[in-house]
Amino acid sequence: MSMHKLIRTAIVSALLLNAYAAYAQSPQLGKPISEADIVAWDITVFPSGANLPAGSGTAAQGAPIYAEKCALCHGVNAEGGLAAGLVGGEPLTNGIDTRKTIANFWASATTLFDFTRRQMPWQQPRTLSDDEVYALTAYMLALNGIVDDDEIMNAETLPRVQMPNRDGFMPRFPELMP
Amino acid sequence: MSTERSILDLADFQPAAANGLLDRRAFCKGGAALAAAMTGYTLSSRAGAQQLTDDPWTRTPGASLKAYGTPSRFEARVTRSLSNPNGEPRTQHGRTPHHLINGTFTPNGLHFVISHTGNPDIDPSQHRLVIHGLVERPLVFTLDDLMRYPMVSRMTFIECGGNSAPLWSPEPVEAGVQAIHGLISCAEWTGVMLSTLLEETGIDPRAKWFIAEGADASKLDRSVPLGKALDDAMIVLYQNGERIMPGNGYPLRLLLPGWEGNMNIKWLRRIELTEEPALSFYEARTYTPILPSGKAYNFYFLQEVKSFITHPSPGLALNGAGFYEVSGLAYSANGRISKVIVSADGGNTWAEAALQEPVLSKAFTRFRLPWRWDGGPAVLQSRAWDEAGNVQPTRSELVARRGEARRVPSVLGFPSQHYNGPTSWRVGADGEVQHVYA
């Protein structure tokens, strides 16, 4: 081995040792946790349907839950009030300030399930059962004519719902997309 | 005004553009004499010079110290404006009064806040940060744990994707810099690099995104490309040297320098590495500007190069003709600000402004330019460039690409998002300043 190669090997070894030393010196204070212990926080649902919980519901089941827990803010007929309306919507080509609705804008029905389960009702988030969230999601989709009143929403059917505006989006900076 | 002119030889200062804009180096040449002659922006008319006497506070001992200092009682009007002061069940906005402060960072009590479901009252001893999903070892950290990690500090602006939204109005809204541009602030943030924690959890090669989620009633979550985590994302614990304010995410938040404010998750409790984005409510529905074609942008991510003048601006009347400093803020998600130009005649002629050093990447850059107002009509504007070569578009260029609202919105409304065109202030003969399009 030439002196040049020896020196280079020595430098590389030193760098590796330093890197190892730096890693060993990092605090390592995180405690291991199992996915089973994260379940209560692990609520993000994906457009593929990944992480949707067990349970199911229909629009017919959702109507009385809506009347009891949602109508005060969103209106008796989901026409809106203190909070956004949940039904209808004009074409997006009408203007850049068009009100975005479930019918004219939302790309995935899983977003509707996730947001309802995550943040609603506004005063008491995380108090709805997963069956109630499926039923309310079915109710909102049925109000907009996207599913039928008796269609069962569950982890299998919800990701397959064809939202009207699902192809209406493009990333602003494609080069930043993974 | 005659006083100023008597102690300055105006011939020393070279005009840099029409309508009184002077060379940006004039202040360096003028030194103390010019500084003393600066006319202030105030709400009341200026008293004339008179014989000086000892004021009462020079003849009696002052007040005792407070354990935690607050500004002078004479500064009581320097506050955020609140969109929902009674905490009704909807989003709350607190906007920074950029016309009443100066410099390059925002005091903690004036940093803008948007809380969709109020500010949670988090006990730091109970708070946890969990990192899981596509990692080799899911880990949970306490605040005590994180406090022992190597930390870094950086100045960074955070801007709401809806900041400047009133400028999408087809007619200029009657509003000032606080209402129009109050949803951006800049602070020194201190904390742990997210990449340091990910070294300890390990990263599954399938991971492409991470989901960040808060511990507030919204459990607000956003999807972020994993590359940002390995670049400059931070878990921040301190804001301008003190622990993060409750409205800014106490006890810890995610910082994604230069990226859309809503993605900088406050009250951060969970990071999940994933293959796909979540299409969460805020990324699927809210920060998704509709285009004239009816399509919409999603995954906007960047707060692009922008600047606006803070002094003068509506609410800061000019007290007579003479010298003023025009100053404002410029920033970009794409690095340092490289140049700011200012016009006093509605964009016909331009002068290059001085940039306050240090000019930092993804932080506020204060620009300044001396101006001799002749008392006549003037329209002030600024435009900025960043080191990546991006230029702040004109309003007409932006509207040609992005459209504009059909009707004049509320000044608190969000007809669209991500406006980065210029702002124009008209100075009237009475010294009052008004928002216009020019």
pTM recorded for the entire structure: 0.92
Residue B408 structure tokens: 């004049």
**May I ask the CATH architecture of the domain A35-168?**
Orthogonal Bundle (1.10)
Identify all chain B residues contacting A33, using CB atoms and an 8 Å cutoff: 130, 132, 138-140
Query: Which residue of B137, B209, B416 is in closest CB contact with A97?
Result: B416
CB B244 within 8 A of CB B251: yes
A residues 24-53 closer than 8 Å to B (CB): 26-35, 38, 41-48, 50
Strand residue runs (E) in B168-289: 184-193, 209-214, 221-225, 234-239, 242-243, 253-255, 268-274
**Interchain pair B285, A111: CB under 8 A:** yes
Residue A168's closest chain B neighbor by CA? B295
> Are the beta carbons of B319 and B45 closer than 8 angstroms?
yes
Rounded CA-CA distance B163/A130 in Å is 36
CA-based max dimension of chain A: 85
Kindly report the average pLDDT of chain A as a whole number.
90
Angle subtended at Cα B267 by Cα B336 and Cα B132, rounded to the nearest 5 degrees: 95
Helix (H) or strand (E) holding B130: strand B128-133
pLDDT at A21: 45
Strands B128-133 and B268-274: parallel
Q: How far apart are CA B434 and CA A66, in angstroms?
A: 47
Contact at CB, A176 and B225, closer than 8 angstroms: yes
Q: Look at A111 and B284 and tell me if their CB atoms are within 8 Å.
A: yes
Domain boundaries, chain A: 1-30, 35-168
Contact A28 B200 (CB under 8 A): yes
Find, in chain A, the residue whose alpha carbon is nearest to that of B289. Answer: A96
- Residue B163 corresponds to which amino acid? N
Nearest CA in chain B to A106: B285
- Round to whole Å and give the CA distance between B248 and B176: 24
**Cβ-based contacts of A72 with chain B (< 8 Å):** none
Q: Do A100 and B199 touch (CB under 8 A)?
A: no
Residues whose CB is less than 8 angstroms from the CB of residue B345 and which lie 6 or more positions away in sequence, other chains included: B17, B18, B19, B378, B379
Q: Which two tokens stand for residue A162?
A: 């064809």
- The reply to whether residue B281 touches residue A35, judged by beta carbons under 8 angstroms, is no
Q: How far is the CA of A107 from the CAs of A115, B81, B404, in angstroms? A: 13, 34, 23
Smallest Cβ–Cβ distance between A111 and the set B281, B406, B418 belongs to B281
Q: Which fold has domain B128-286?
A: Sulfite Oxidase; Chain A, domain 2 (3.90.420)
Both tokens assigned to A104: 């004219």
Which pLDDT score, from 0 to 100, does residue B47 have? 59
- Decide if A125 and B117 are in contact by the 8 Å CB cutoff: yes
- Contacts of residue B132 in chain A, CB cutoff 8 Å? 33, 35, 38, 42
B270/A82 touch (CB, cutoff 8 Å), yes or no: no
Q: Which two tokens stand for residue B354?
A: 């001085």
Which residue do the tokens 């880990």 mark? B139
Compute the nearest-CA separation of B148 from chain A (Å).
7
Distance of alpha carbon B186 from alpha carbon B181, whole angstroms: 13
Residues of chain A with pLDDT under 50: 1-3, 5-22
Query: According to the model, what pLDDT value does residue B246 have?
Result: 98
Task: Test A108 with B117 for CB contact under 8 angstroms.
Answer: no
In B281-410, the DSSP E strands lie at 296-298, 306-311, 317-318, 322-331, 337-343, 351-352, 354-355, 365-373, 378-386
Q: pLDDT at position B43, please? A: 52
Please state the φ and ψ torsions of residue B435, each to the nearest 5 degrees.
Answer: -75, 130
Ranges of residues in chain B whose predicted pLDDT is under 70? 1-13, 26-40, 42-48
Cβ–Cβ contact A127 with B under 8 A? no
Ranges of each domain in chain B: 128-286
A119 touches chain B (CB under 8 A): yes
Cross-chain Cβ contact A30/B289 below 8 Å: no
